[in-house]
Chain A
Amino acid sequence: MVRPGPGCAVWEITLKCNLNCMHCGSAAGKARSDELTTDEALQLCDDLKGIGCQGVAMMGGEPLLRKDWPSIAERVREVGMDLSIITNGYKITESKFQRILDVNPELVTVSIDGGHAAIHDKIRGVPGSFKEVVATLRRFVKSGLPTGVITTVHKMNLGELTTIRKLLLGTGVAWQIQMATPYGRLTYDHVLSKEEYYSLALFIAATRKKYSKKELMIAGAHDMGYFSRVLPPLQVYPWQGCQAGISTLGIESNGNILGCLALPPEYVEGNIRERPLKEIWNDSAFSSYTRRVRRTDLGSECASCTYSKICKGGCSAVSHSMAGGLHRDPYCLRLIEAELKKSNG
């Protein structure tokens, strides 16, 4: 059966990185020894278009460290797909900046993890990175490119949100907040507790309420929340369940294919060097954990939830890492509210 293509393929074009972030889910640093060649990467752009993919988010590692990134970006545009670039914003030279303007992406996103240099630099592992990323952000905004900021939250920067908010107010950027999961370099002891996660949700909801979109566009990542009984929506689009292998596709720099890049290596379901992308994507067994969920797959709390048919137990990556199995995401606002209520007596 030929499936509709993904709305967005998230493509780690290299694992090479010039920062050393404590929460990096792919433990980036050195390039993989077997990364796709330029020809293979360009062919992959065509193949993505061939399966009906609508957009590519280029990320890493630090994607702009791969020398041929402009060729890949241009091919993405040439074949008619949307392009977004997710960069750490560090060491963006004038010529790199110009190349970004030349390829004219739909979105360029930088990561800011602290409102104070000391915190951001500590998280990102390189002194001076805060100063640089803020300067990069200002250049992007000034150039008129649609710009986004991602903040990945864990115990060390939960208290930084109001300061980051001040920094971003009135800049016209889209601010995405997401929770760090214990993959790659992040250890469990840094992951937010459920109560802290609820605080984070409160912050997003309260900020959305307090500021107009003109003042600040803020949203939780697409996998945050789920059907709270108390809070208004955290996202711009309603939650429709994990979209790994449905609306999104993950590509590692060596051609490995997963339903979603947020998932760990055991979810790799093929490599484009061994099997054409079209075959992998259209294989009825691909991402069956999201494409064909049965009620019996759900954890007990999710199975009895009114929204199980739509939600199917939350984010697969969070569920796998924090509950040891799929379809039982404990970072569900609805479940946390029930727990808070109980503990309240």
Chain B
Amino acid sequence: MSLVDMIPVGIELLRLSGRESVYTILSRVFKAQPISPAYRRRIRPLGASVGLSEVEVDEVISGSPNVTNLPSWLKWVLVAFIVVVLILSAIGVTGSYVPWYTNPLYVPGTDYASIRPKDFL
């Protein structure tokens, strides 16, 4: 997993660790799309078709969107920043270079067939 790919994972960890407010702010700041009244009117009947009230639909579309990853331009700004900090600190501490983490993306767990109560903890 590259450093770039670790940024969304870090943000997701914030969400999973219960820091919803930080997660919400980050996702809203970087990705939020204001929900227009017309779009809201378009979505409400879709919710009604599965028994959701307007209030329930409004609540769910006003929360934090499922954007656990940042747009690429912002990733690179952040990466550049992190890399500079890492290089400087590495030079400061060891006088050598910073190795990159290059393992392939790999998601362990048995949730690919069916989720467990344990997965929600």
Contacts and interface: CB of A to CB of B under 8 A. Distances in A.
Interface string A316-345: 000000000000000001000000110111
Given A7-B108, A243-B112, A344-B42, A217 B67 contact: no
Contacts of A196: 49
Contacts of A55: 109-110
B115 A176 contact: yes
Contacts of A345: 38
Interface in A183-216: 195-196, 198-200, 202-203, 205-206, 209-210, 213
A345 B51 CA distance: 26
**Interface majority SS (helix, strand, loop, mixed), chain A:** mixed
Interface residues of A, number: 70
Interface string A46-66: 000000001101010000000
Interface in A15-43: none
Contacts, number: 185
14 contacts: A57-B114, A147-B117, A196-B49, A199-B49, A199-B50, A205-B60, A206-B47, A217-B117, A229-B33, A231-B65, A233-B68, A260-B112, A306-B72, A341-B42
A106 B110 contact: yes
Q: Which 10 A-B pairs have the closest CB atoms?
A: A57-B113, A162-B51, A55-B110, A7-B108, A248-B112, A8-B110, A203-B50, A199-B46, A109-B114, A217-B120
A237 B120 CA distance: 9
Nearest to B73: A306
A159 B107 CA distance: 33
B119 to A, nearest CB: 5
